[in-house]
């Protein structure tokens, strides 16, 4: 297999359908022709929500380890969140991250700039200075609590032609919660995070989007109310998109265990929420799947549900999980999976496909084992899950960046 794959140029326009892209890939002279239908070539995946932790927290992940892990997951473009040290809130700080990317990234890595200085929610960051270099503006990891500051940020982002990418979380409703405020929390005596802490800020922001006309993207939606609010906003014609993560689509709070690898923010919600997310994916309310790849050290994740850090890794498991638990059971087609993992995020964030693709062996069966991850982060709720699909190779700009 390995020596059959040669790095090959595929030029696909974003308007092309997945079948067209595959057709282009297969008809390109020099591309390996596979004797078996088990191998599928996808356009390079694009994840608009990852945490690569550099600069500031390289013990959790670096640009080098994160981008290698992404390549192993079939990704050729990712957008990194700004909860770093220093926070990219001006050009000088952003340049430190851009230097790491320039030096160490094996795929395309595009940062977000912060919305507020230090992600503190008090003063707007230098959005204009950072605009040429960033995918958009986000305070991910924290919600912008002040409505007025969010309004100002939206006005400025609109003038700069960049999206606001919102982590929606109302701190006044958290009350020390760390998992969903649902059946599992009640049964096991945990403090819960209510759904309104997510949908409340979404409702507020949608009002502001109407007022300012900004392009607005909602991060990691997890509740049925969020789906409905975004469905309505789209019906009204607002410039709104959203993402959810693989874990919210295939897991719910009935599957929680007393282990930090089940803890992320937002938390796994109820079975009804999960069903609403799948429905949202099918009717186009949810535009894309993004992983919120959020690596932490083993120590930080070893403190149970209450005390562990929020965040799980996901970039190396996204496609096998989507394929095994959504495509194989017939919920999504392979074309829809490619749309959600590649085409739609690239269109929304204007990220060129370039000459990128990944090759997957769809019949390869394995059990998810974090020891195999190239990411420094090992905490995943999918540990031990049986999956189909193994990335055989990933090509970025004609260069082989991962080979099994
Ligand atoms: O679970 C999470 N982890 N959610 C976030 O919003 C932030 C992220 C992180 O940075 O670890």
What residues contact residue 275 under an 8 Å CB cut-off, 6+ apart? 224
Atom of ligand 1 nearest to the CA of 219: 6
What's the whole-number mean pLDDT along residues 356-371? 93
What is the set of active-site residues?
A: 292
Q: Which helix (H) or strand (E) holds 193?
A: strand 192-193
Tell me the CA end-to-end span of the chain in Å, nearest whole number.
9
pLDDT exceeds cutoff 90 at 205: yes
For residue 80, the cross-strand partners are 50, 111
pLDDT of residue 35: 44
Question: Which amino acid residue places its CA nearest to atom 5 of ligand 1?
Answer: 141
**DSSP for 51-71, written as a single string:** ---TTT-TTT--HHHHHHHHH
Regarding the beta carbon of 139 and ligand 1, being less than 6 Å apart is answered: no
Lowest pLDDT segment from 211-225, 242-256, 335-349: 335-349
pLDDT exceeds cutoff 90 at 5: no
Beta strand ranges found along 240-296 (DSSP E): 240-244, 288-289
How far apart are alpha carbons 52 and 377 in whole angstroms?
Answer: 10
What's the whole-number mean pLDDT along residues 363-390? 97
Instruction: Please state whether the predicted TM-score (pTM) of the whole model is above 0.75.
Output: yes
pLDDT exceeds cutoff 80 at 250: yes
For residue 98, the cross-strand partners are none
Regarding the beta carbon of 138 and ligand 1, being less than 6 Å apart is answered: no
294 CA → ligand 1 middle, Å: 6
**Strand-pair category, 357-367 with 39-43:** antiparallel
27 CA → ligand 1 middle, Å: 42
**In Å, what is the CA distance from 277 to each residue of 12, 80, 178, 332?**
30, 24, 21, 13
28 CA → ligand 1 middle, Å: 41
Regarding the beta carbon of 265 and ligand 1, being less than 6 Å apart is answered: yes
pLDDT band at residue 22 under the 50/70/90 scheme? low
What's the whole-number mean pLDDT along residues 355-372? 92
Regarding the beta carbon of 141 and ligand 1, being less than 6 Å apart is answered: yes
Average confidence score pLDDT of the chain: 92
pLDDT exceeds cutoff 70 at 27: no
pLDDT of residue 20: 56
pLDDT digits (tens, 9 = 90+) for 85-118: 999 999 999 999 999 999 999 999 999 999 999 9
pLDDT band at residue 279 under the 50/70/90 scheme? very high
For 63, counting Cβ atoms within 10 Å of its Cβ (0-12 exposed, 13-18 middle, 19+ buried), the class is buried
What's the whole-number mean pLDDT along residues 48-52? 98
How far apart are alpha carbons 182 and 179 in whole angstroms?
Answer: 8
What's the whole-number mean pLDDT along residues 55-64? 98
pLDDT band at residue 28 under the 50/70/90 scheme? low
pLDDT of residue 286: 98
How far apart are alpha carbons 201 and 354 in whole angstroms?
Answer: 36
pLDDT digits (tens, 9 = 90+) for 147-177: 999 999 999 999 999 999 999 999 999 999 9
Regarding the beta carbon of 310 and ligand 1, being less than 6 Å apart is answered: yes
262 CA → ligand 1 middle, Å: 13
pLDDT digits (tens, 9 = 90+) for 283-300: 999 999 999 999 999 999
């Amino acid at each position: 297999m390995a020596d059959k794959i040669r790095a090959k140029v595929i030029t696909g326009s974003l308007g092309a359908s997945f079948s067209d892209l595959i057709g282009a890939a297969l008809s390109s002279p020099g591309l390996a022709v596979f004797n078996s239908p088990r191998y599928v070539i996808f356009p390079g995946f694009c994840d608009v929500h990852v945490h690569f932790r550099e600069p500031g927290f390289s013990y959790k992940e670096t640009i080098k380890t994160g981008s290698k892990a992404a390549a192993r997951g079939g990704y050729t473009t990712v957008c990194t969140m700004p909860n770093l040290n220093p926070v990219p809130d001006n050009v000088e700080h952003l340049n430190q991250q851009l230097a790491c990317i320039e030096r160490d990234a094996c795929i395309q890595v595009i940062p977000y700039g912060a919305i507020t200085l230090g992600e503190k929610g008090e003063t707007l960051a230098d959005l204009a200075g950072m605009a040429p270099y960033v995918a958009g503006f986000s305070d991910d990891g924290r919600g912008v609590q002040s409505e007025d500051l969010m309004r100002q940020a939206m006005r400025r982002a609109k003038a700069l032609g960049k999206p606001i990418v919102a982590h929606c979380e109302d701190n006044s409703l958290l009350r020390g919660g760390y998992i969903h405020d649902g059946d599992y929390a009640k049964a096991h005596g945990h403090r819960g995070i209510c759904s309104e802490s997510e949908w409340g800020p979404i409702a507020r922001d949608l009002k502001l989007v109407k007022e300012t006309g900004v392009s607005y993207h909602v991060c990691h939606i997890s509740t049925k109310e969020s789906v409905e609010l975004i469905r309505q906003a789209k019906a009204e014609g607002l410039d709104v998109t959203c993402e959810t993560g693989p874990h919210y689509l295939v897991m719910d709070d009935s599957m929680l265990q007393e282990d930090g690898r089940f803890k992320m923010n937002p938390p796994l919600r109820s079975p009804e929420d999960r069903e609403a997310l799948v429905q949202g994916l099918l009717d186009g309310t949810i535009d894309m799947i993004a992983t919120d790849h959020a690596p932490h050290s083993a120590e930080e994740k070893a403190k149970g549900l209450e005390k562990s850090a929020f965040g799980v890794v996901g970039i190396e498991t996204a496609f096998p999980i989507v394929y095994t638990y959504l495509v194989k059971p017939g919920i999504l087609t392979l074309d829809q999976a490619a749309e959600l993992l590649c085409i739609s995020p690239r269109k929304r964030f204007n990220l060129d496909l370039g000459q990128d693709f990944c090759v997957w062996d769809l019949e390869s069966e394995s059990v998810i084992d974090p020891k195999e991850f190239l990411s420094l982060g090992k905490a995943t709720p999918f540990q031990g899950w049986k999956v189909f699909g193994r990335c055989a190779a990933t090509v970025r700009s004609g260069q082989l960046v991962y080979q099994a």
